[in-house]
Structure 1
Amino acid sequence: MQAIILDTETHTLNGLPIEIAYAPIEINAGKLTLDKSKLFDQLYQVGTPISYAAMAVHHILESDLENQPHYKTFKLPDTTTYIIGHNIDYDIAAIARCGVDV
């Protein structure tokens, strides 16, 4: 995997990630390909309440996070070279809070 298109949702503005999703893509000879079987979308527990403002944006409720893994368990794929996304600085900061070396 060369690159991922990343998106996160957090429990507050600039908070901990409660949802992390990415689509791995390959770029070869100027062509972009996506293997849909490798799409990743996971909810995470953070151990602190979701703000009402955040819930209004992403519609993720406390009950949605029950029995989900802890956010610190998230790992990027080892072969990730590039991270692409809308407001990517926000998403990179969010996964960095998981302990990911970005």
Structure 2
Amino acid sequence: MKTNFELRPIFLSAEKTIKGHFLICFLALIIQRYLEFVLDCCGYPMPTNKIIYAIKNQKLSIIPEINTYIKTEESEDFKTILKVFGIKLIETIGKYEDIKFTI
């Protein structure tokens, strides 16, 4: 677990800001563990680093001038994550209005 966290100094002094930062970090950890748990329960055990890598490598570019989007190809791990959570794949290139309610 420790190897999946990146640490860098934070300079927060207000108590409200510190609590907000802690909340965001805690929610990220809960979401990460939930993804691992659900994937494992569905028969697709996947370590945290593979989940993070699969999600981080997805890119979607919107070209508003021509109302189009272009995205990268999905890795097999990303396809597995989408399948387990019942999220449908979108085309590699398409019209923005086809996905604007999906994102």
Instruction: Give the TM-score normalised by the residue count of structure 1.
Output: 0.28
Q: Which structure shows the bigger proportion of residues in helix conformation?
A: 2
Structure number, greater radius of gyration: 2
Q: Which structure shows the bigger proportion of residues in strand conformation?
A: 1
